[in-house]
Structure 1
Amino acid sequence: PDLISRIKEAQKEDNEIWTIVENLNKQVEFRLNDDNVLWQNTRLVIPNDATLREALLTEAHSSPFSVHSGLPQTQRRHDAIWVVVDRLTKSAHFLPIRKDYSVSRLAEIFQQEIVRLHGTPSAIVSD
């Protein structure tokens, strides 16, 4: 089965997800789409399944559409996307950057875009 089918099946077996589904009438940010797949706003909810998560990461890193690869330059000369993921909430930020940005410029962007919204992280993991 394709990845979305695996996610859909795994959602059915995840107790935490079913608690959310059972309380959808009390939630504003969660919804089931026409295929009964749970979304949180515009993000697909991924069950706590190590095998499935590994498959997702493998797909993300091997796909030609991976967000880690370079991009055609935008009008502002951005040629890459910096992906910052909160492992607890599984939320992600996609920040347009340039490959030639200095570490201090990246720190400035991190402060403006991540720390401003979420506070200083207790740990940073980089791949």
Structure 2
Amino acid sequence: MAKVILKRVSGDYGFDTVNENGTVVKMDSNPEMGGTEYGARPMQLLLNALAGCASIDVISILKKQRQEIKDYSVTVTGEREAGVEPSLWKEIQMVFEITGNVEEGKAQRAVEISLNKYCSVAVTLVKAGATIQTNVIVRNA
């Protein structure tokens, strides 16, 4: 069972969360609510989690296919529902940039498999009503 402990450490809304491995994640509210930019906002962390979850899958799939990745990044942007509470993620865009000796078709397929089959974060967001669009850019080097 996963376990996270949250402790208020900075102002009203600056928190450190620590998991069972001792990894610390800093969190805060937005400035309009009194946050001080101490850490990421909880909803931003969902996008972080999506990028990380998908990336672990994509890199693992490509390595199994003997694709050589020299550089890798993902940019995630999202738009939340306006004027409602709770304000869920509505539209999410992910741009995967992969450099190396990688076949474009394999990279595209790895992203598709991750988001539709393996990445629990992606499936959770989609079940909550979000749409996830992707763009995969492969640069051979």
- Higher percent of residues as strand: 2
TM-score, length of structure 1 as denominator length: 0.31
Higher relative contact order (CA 8 A, sep 6+): 2
- Higher percent of residues as helix: 1
TM-score, length of structure 2 as denominator length: 0.29
